[in-house]
Amino acid sequence: MNDFVYREGRLYCGDLGIEEIADSVGTPFYCYSLPTIRRHVRVFEESLRGVDHQTCFAVKANANLAVLAALGRMGIGADVVSGGELFKVLRAGIDPGRIVYSGVGKRVDEIDMALTAGILMFNIESEQELEVLAARASILNKRAPIAIRVNPDVDPETHPYISTGLKENKFGIDIDAALDQYRKAVRLDHVDVMGLDCHIGSQLTEVKPFLDAVERLKVLVSRLEEDGIHLRYLDLGGGLGITYEHEEPPHPSEYGSAMVKAAGDLGMKLIFEPGRVIVGNAGILVSRVLYRKETSGKTFIIVDAGMNDLIRPAFYNAYHEIGVVVEKGIGREKVDVVGPICESSDFLAKDRELPVLDRGDLIAVMSAGAYGFTMASNYNSRPKAAEVLVDKDKFYLVNRRQTYDDLTSGETIPDAIMEEGD
């Protein structure tokens, strides 16, 4: 259940008609429902009630400043993976003491930025990263709170591109090698060993892989205890899936209670890094039909949003439901919905039965609130779409559409080129 509903054949977000928003801001645009985001947070938090925990939203899923600010106001922290994400969450007013920093490739300037901000914890992904962090903390005369991200080698049974907890993945430190890293870390000046972290993958539709991972982490925690290394935080990552089509992921309450049952008795504060489950079904991408084109055997609906706006279908062959914004009731047909980009993989839906569409009609690509705008690019020099946040009967343009000037800002033509003859 979310805020995107049909009333008399017209798609609404809360009390506002999508068509009216499109008339006002143009297309394509992302539309997020604030009440839906808030409800997802409440449901997630409810499932962890009574357990010492901190939820750190995975910013890579949706980095819109207004969305981040709304989450921050609800006591949610952030899981960041770059200096840019850290900059944005601080700008959005998220408490640095609620920020964890993950990612295999933290640069020195990014490490310095996080040390200066005073974040909760660095999730360390390699031995060299640990050494660099210790050195930077010493130079800046700061203390670096760390968790080691281990790779528990469990199969999340999700798309191979978004599984991260298998031995062959680049993420984390092999769980069998982690003990040595901890022994090393506790001896480092300026480093405070605070926790243990894992993230096994995204769009998981079963609880079992999460529980398998917790079991392996628990073995390591007790092994560390024997060595006199006591940890305060257990970061269980993100990864809970959502329904795009027919998937039946566990309800957040089922996930939460399973995790609490498995890890709630360790005396450690639990950290969660959900992304998709908070924002995925709280957002849509609205696009207008430019042309319909019939070739021998296929009908193409060519729309003004492409893989530069939403890359998931092209990248993962991901399914996104497509709704028409105003139903005309003139029959259905099987079509490919494609964008304007010059790539054959630029599609939003293939061989999809949809209501008959024609020039000027609006479509809504559903479940686009996570990994939509954050993965958008300027490919084919297309300005990035606008982002709109709806709160019941009000909408806010929270990110204006890029202009052509935005496309060249930062670029220069060296005089030498202009002075050169043929």
Summarize as ranges the residues that interact with ligand LLP (CB under 6 A). 58, 60-61, 79, 102, 162, 164, 199, 202-203, 237-240, 273-277, 312, 370-371
Residue pair 375/312 in contact by the 8 Å Cβ criterion: yes
CB of 226 to ligand LLP, least distance (A): 28
Task: Note if 342 is an active site residue.
Answer: yes
Of 123 and 399, CB closest to ligand LLP: 123
CB of 312 to ligand LLP, least distance (A): 5
Closest by CA position to 175, among listed 198, 150, 197:
150
Query: Half-sphere exposure of residue 112, counting CA atoms within 13 Å on the CB side?
Result: 6
CB of 202 to ligand LLP, least distance (A): 3
Of 164 and 287, CB closest to ligand LLP: 164
Of 11 and 41, CB closest to ligand LLP: 41
Handedness of CA 135, 136, 140, 143 (dihedral sign): negative
Closest by CA position to 91, among listed 102, 101, 83, 100:
83
Token pair belonging to 128: 């060299």
Of 4 and 244, CB closest to ligand LLP: 244
Rounded to the nearest angstrom, the gap between the alpha carbon of residue 223 and the centroid of all alpha carbons in its chain is 33
Of 241 and 323, CB closest to ligand LLP: 241
What pairs with residue 141 in β-bridges?
Answer: none
- Looking at residue 171, its amino acid is F
Give the integer Cα–Cα distance in Å for 284 and 212.
34
CB of 287 to ligand LLP, least distance (A): 18
Buried b (16+ CB within 10 A) or exposed e, 290-317: eebeeeeeebebbbbbbbbbbbbbbeee
By residue count, the chain amounts to: 422
CB of 122 to ligand LLP, least distance (A): 12
State the catalytic residue, choosing from 31, 56, 198, 342: 342
CB of 187 to ligand LLP, least distance (A): 26
Of 58 and 388, CB closest to ligand LLP: 58
CB of 102 to ligand LLP, least distance (A): 4
Of 58 and 89, CB closest to ligand LLP: 58
Please give the positions annotated as active site: 342
